[in-house]
Structures are given as C-alpha cells and as structure tokens.
Amino acid sequence: MDEEFSVDDPTQLLHSASEFAHHPGVQNDATTKDFLDRFPLPVIISALQTKADVPGLANTLVDCLERVFKTKYGGSLIPQYMPFLQVGLKADSQMVRCLACKTVSSFLENFDDKSISAIQLIIDYDLYPLLLDCLIYGNEQVATAAIDAIKNLAQFPEGMGIIFPANINEVTHLGNLASRCSSLGRVRILSLIVKLFSISGSVASVIYNSNLLSLLETEIRNSNDTLVTLSALELLYELTEIRHGTEFLSRTTLQLLHSIISNSSMEGILRSRAMMISGRLLSKENIYMFADELRAKGVISAIDVRLGLLDSQDTDECESALEALGQIGSSIQGAVLLLSSFPPAARHIVHAAFDWQGRGKQLAALHALGNVAGENRPEDSVILSSDAEESLRRLIYEAASESSKLTPSGLFLSVLQQAAEFRLAGYRVITGLVARTWCLMEICSKQEIINMVTDPATETTKIGMEARYKCCKAIHRAFMPSKLVSDPALSGIAGKLQEAVQRGPYLTRKHTEAAPVVMTAERF
C-alpha cells in the first residue's frame, strides 16, 4: 500500500483525503480508523514530504491530518509520530509548521495514556523550543497555533516548569527571549504572556512574580515605534478584560497610563488608547480594593486636564476621553470620583452632553452621562453618596441655565427630538437620572417627554423600542411610590405610564372588531 499510494499515484489519496477533510460535521473514531486503515499515517506523511508539488495535495493533506488528529483515535497515534512533529515544527512550509503546532495542541488536549507522560514526551523530543521558534518566526497563522499549543502546555503543572524555568538565564525564558527578538517577535511574546495570564489567577501570579508584565510596560514606554507601542497597548487592553487581572494590573499600570495621558508629545492615538484602557480598568468595582485611590484620582485628573486642553478639532481624542470618563462613571466608586473631584471631572460630560456644536462629542457625552447616572448599574446601586448626588444635580441645572432651554426638562426634550441615535442615548440618560426626585419632577413637568416615552410608535428599530420601554419603566417605577402620584395636576401620567408598561416595548396593533365586507355583484 505504501508504494501504491505514496510513490506512484497520489490521485486516489488526494481524492479520499479531500472527502475526509471536507466531510460535513465532526469526524468520529470509526470513520477515522477506516480512513487510516486504507491510507496509513506513514503514507500520508510521506506524500506530504515528497509530493508537495502535486496541485492541491499539500493543502488537502494538511486539512485531512488536522481533522485526523482532532479525533480521539487519531490523537492516540500522535506519540508514535513525535519525530514527525519535530520535522514539522522546523519545516520550511508555513502550512506544515501550522499543522505541527495544532497537532501538539491536539496531543495535549486529548492525551489520556496513563503509562507515559505527555510532558516527558514534549521534553524528550525538545518540542518547546521549536514551538517558540514558530511563535517568533512563523507567519501569523503559525504564531497563533504556537500560542495555543503553549497555552495547552501550561495546563499541566509540569508544563508550567518548562514555560517558566526557575533559572532566569535559561535560553527559553520569555524575558531573555524577548531581549533577543525583533519588535514583531517581542509583540508576539507579549501576546503569549497575555494569553497565559488569562488561564487562571495562579498562572497570572507566576507571570507577575516572574516580572514578565514589566516587558509589556517597557514596550509601552518605548515611544520610538508608534505601531509597536499601540500593539502593546492593545495587549494591555486585553489584560484589563481578564477577571482575575485587576489585582495585578492595579499595582503599576495606573501610573503608566497616567504618564501616557499626561505626555503632550505622545501621538494622539496613543493617548486615546491609554484613556480607553484607564476607563476599562477603573470601571471595575474591585479595582478600588487594590488600587491606591490617589492613583485613580491621578488618572482621572490627567484625562480632565487633557479634555481642557483639547479644542474642537481634536474630535477623536475628545470622544475617547469622554468615553473613558463614562466607563469610569459606570462603577459606583468611579462615578463618585468623577463628581467629587474639584473641579468635578464630570462637568466635561454634562456640558458636552447638551452642546449641539459637536455631534460625535455630544453623543459620546450623552452615553457617558447615562453611565454616571447609573443606567447600567443595578437598581440598588443607582444613587450615589449625598455629595456626589448634589454635584450631579448642580452640574445639570448649571448646564440648563447656560442654555436656551433654561431647565433640565427642556434639555432632555431637546435630545429626544433629535435623530434616533441621540434619542437612544437620551433614553439612557433619563433612565438613570429619573431615580432622583428632582429629575422625576422635571420629567413629569414636560408632557411631551411623557408622550414620547409612552408611545410605542416613537421608535421603529428593536434597539430603539427597547431603550424607550426601559426608560418608560424607569419613570413608572420612580413615579408610583413618589408624592407626585397624588398631585391632581399629574393625575393622567400614572395611567398613561401604567398602560405603556403593560403594552410592552414593541408596537402592537390594538384589537379591532371584525367588519363585514360589502361588494357589488359581478355582472356579465
């Protein structure tokens, strides 16, 4: 069989491998065994090595082998072909290297032979250094596959010892490796560190104690290459999304972000990204368990100062700053800091929310104000401290008094009378603010607002209908237990709100009686 298929005529192998590779659904052990009985792995590997010039054969065999090794039966055969993995990880073909990396992943994910150690096989065949080479020197697909394989290796306690050697002078130590790499190689190593960091709190602790996060900070501080710095910032943003990462990042990251935001010589895109990362980090309630509040205030102050320096031409950076403040304001502690600083950083949000000169800026500010007001917080976490609440009320009344609308209700109505995307943001603002008695009174004083939020025909899109309905429910929830419900002048509001809440968010036709249809007789 070896001679028939691997040397003379690969046509049948190509046809059968293509059918196997492109078979819909998941291949099971039975079909995999049947295929390998007809075309043993040595035949396929030999054809891949010697018949790569046959059109379509290499691609097909790579796809076929990937599916073979993903099955339990195919994975059980991998230990017999470790030399093939060695050769594959060093191959000139990027496609073959990618397959070899994925095969290592399949091996580590599916290996269940208790008689031998999977990690010992990795060590015996020296595969880890080859995976690192694929990470640094392979194309994007190879690098991604290598990261996945190393991440699977880290799931084993013994694998952690390989990735994080006790001797920091080891050639494979990630810190040493990064010092010898090109900028692209360093970014890929940083990407690996971030992926490993996401595995668990214990792995994150090992990374932090190994001082590997400092590699990321060093790359961010290196302003010689904007693209590399931006890539490092993107990885830092990814770190802020990891649940157990807050404790580690809070120790040094806030100071780093502060320095970037405050640096007027930095590229605007880097400052904008640093602001967004700050917003993401400070929006987490548990950050304040670990972070020094002074550092948090320092970051907010840096964004505040930057907003004060920006003019109408710096729209992108301005919108990023407002969005970052809005993210910070989505947490209770963050909202309190924005409203309690002197002068309150939230003033930029409130003033921009009702400034019709910059449309993108206004939209970002409206959503930020909705966050600060608590639209996305649980019902029992909407109201802030008394000082923060007074600051919020004062800022909104000041904005109203400085506008042609004169009252907050006039400002709210003017937002709801704009285009759909602004109405959506306006609903969010009212949904959050109406939990305050002063805002409820403002809303109830404007019949036009009540009419808009209770009319299902106001919006035509699903997201708009749902935002309007959520706003309507928030007004109803605040109105019913309030003293306003007994005010004769507002007697019609309760019924209108109740009916709108019962009707639901979507436009439905009212029930109509069947009517007879009268037609004239046809005449011939």
- The residue with tokens 């209108």 is 496
Is 238 a member of any domain?
Answer: no
Is 381 a member of any domain?
Answer: no
- d(C-alpha 287, C-alpha 246), whole Å: 6
- The residue with tokens 């194309």 is 139
Question: pLDDT tens, 42-60?
Answer: 888 888 877 767 788 888 8
Choose from 62-76, 285-299, 388-402 the range with maximum mean pLDDT: 388-402
- The residue with tokens 């004169």 is 406
Domain with 447 in it: 404-503
Sign of CA dihedral 206, 211, 217, 222: negative
Q: Which pLDDT belongs to residue 4?
A: 44
- State percent of the chain over pLDDT 70: 93
Residues 6+ apart with CB under 8 A from 13: 5, 6, 39, 43, 44, 47, 57, 61
DSSP 181-242: S-HHHHHHHHHHHHHHHTT-HHHHHHHHHTT-HHHHHHHHH-TT-HHHHHHHHHHHHHHHTS
Confidence of residue 7 (pLDDT cuts 50, 70, 90): very low
Helix (H, G, I), strand (E, B) or coil at 409: helix
Count Cβ neighbours within 10 Å for each residue of 495-507 and write b for 16 or more, e otherwise: ebbeebbeeebee
Does residue 514 register a pLDDT over 60? no
Confidence of residue 191 (pLDDT cuts 50, 70, 90): very high
pTM beyond cutoff 0.85: no
Residue 199: closest CA among 250, 251, 234, 164: 164
Average pLDDT of the chain, as a whole number: 86
476 versus 491: the higher-pLDDT residue is: 476
Does residue 511 register a pLDDT over 80? no
Is 294 a member of any domain?
Answer: no
Residue 408: closest CA among 444, 381, 383, 435: 444
φ, ψ (nearest 5 deg) of residue 516: -70, 145
Question: pLDDT tens, 346-360?
Answer: 999 999 998 877 788
- The residue with tokens 């960091």 is 197
Residues 6+ apart with CB under 8 A from 79: 107, 111, 113, 116, 121
From 154-158, 224-228, 260-264, 444-448, the region with the lowest mean pLDDT: 224-228
Angle, helices 140-153/183-197, rounded to nearest 10 degrees: 40
Q: Which pLDDT belongs to residue 56?
A: 80
Tally of domains within the chain: 1
Q: Which pLDDT belongs to residue 338?
A: 93
Helix (H) or strand (E) holding 132, with range, is helix 127-137
Let me know: does 456 contact 508? Beta carbons within 8 Å.
Answer: yes
- For residue 310, how many other CB atoms are within 10 A of its CB? 17
Provide the CA 2 distance to its chain's centre, in angstroms: 50
Length of the chain: 524
- For residue 404, how many other CB atoms are within 10 A of its CB? 8
Average pLDDT over residues 190-219: 90
- State percent of the chain over pLDDT 90: 33
Does residue 486 register a pLDDT over 50? yes
Question: pLDDT tens, 296-349?
Answer: 888 899 998 888 887 656 678 888 999 999 999 999 999 999 999 889 999 999
- d(C-alpha 260, C-alpha 217), whole Å: 11
Q: Which pLDDT belongs to residue 11?
A: 80
Confidence of residue 28 (pLDDT cuts 50, 70, 90): confident
Q: Which pLDDT belongs to residue 3?
A: 42
Structure tokens belonging to residue 37: 């009985």
Report the greatest alpha carbon distance in the chain: 104
Q: Which pLDDT belongs to residue 344?
A: 92
Query: What does the DSSP 8-state code read for residue 204?
Result: H
Give the CA distances from residue 258 to residues 140, 238, 252, 295, 331, in Å, rounded to whole numbers and listed in that order: 32, 18, 10, 8, 20
Is 471 a member of any domain?
Answer: yes
Q: Which pLDDT belongs to residue 115?
A: 63
Give the CA distances from residue 159 to residues 143, 149, 162, 163, in Å, rounded to whole numbers and listed in that order: 19, 11, 5, 6
Question: pLDDT tens, 100-109?
Answer: 999 999 889 8
Average pLDDT over residues 147-151: 95
Residues 6+ apart with CB under 8 A from 500: 453, 454, 455, 456, 469, 472, 476
Q: Which pLDDT belongs to residue 493?
A: 84
Residues 6+ apart with CB under 8 A from 443: 409, 412, 430, 434, 449, 450, 475
Let me know: does 168 contact 176? Beta carbons within 8 Å.
Answer: yes
Is 129 a member of any domain?
Answer: no
Confidence of residue 427 (pLDDT cuts 50, 70, 90): very high
Let me know: does 89 contact 97? Beta carbons within 8 Å.
Answer: yes
Q: Which pLDDT belongs to residue 519?
A: 57
Q: Which pLDDT belongs to residue 47?
A: 83
Residues 6+ apart with CB under 8 A from 504: 456, 469
Residue 164: closest CA among 149, 148, 175, 180: 175
Is 497 a member of any domain?
Answer: yes
Confidence of residue 135 (pLDDT cuts 50, 70, 90): very high
Encoded amino acid at 524, one letter: F
Q: Which pLDDT belongs to residue 6?
A: 42
- d(C-alpha 228, C-alpha 214), whole Å: 15
Does residue 152 register a pLDDT over 60? yes
From 200-204, 228-232, 246-250, the region with the lowest mean pLDDT: 246-250
Does residue 5 register a pLDDT over 50? no
Is 438 a member of any domain?
Answer: yes
Average pLDDT over residues 273-293: 84
Is 33 a member of any domain?
Answer: no
Let me know: does 124 contact 86? Beta carbons within 8 Å.
Answer: no
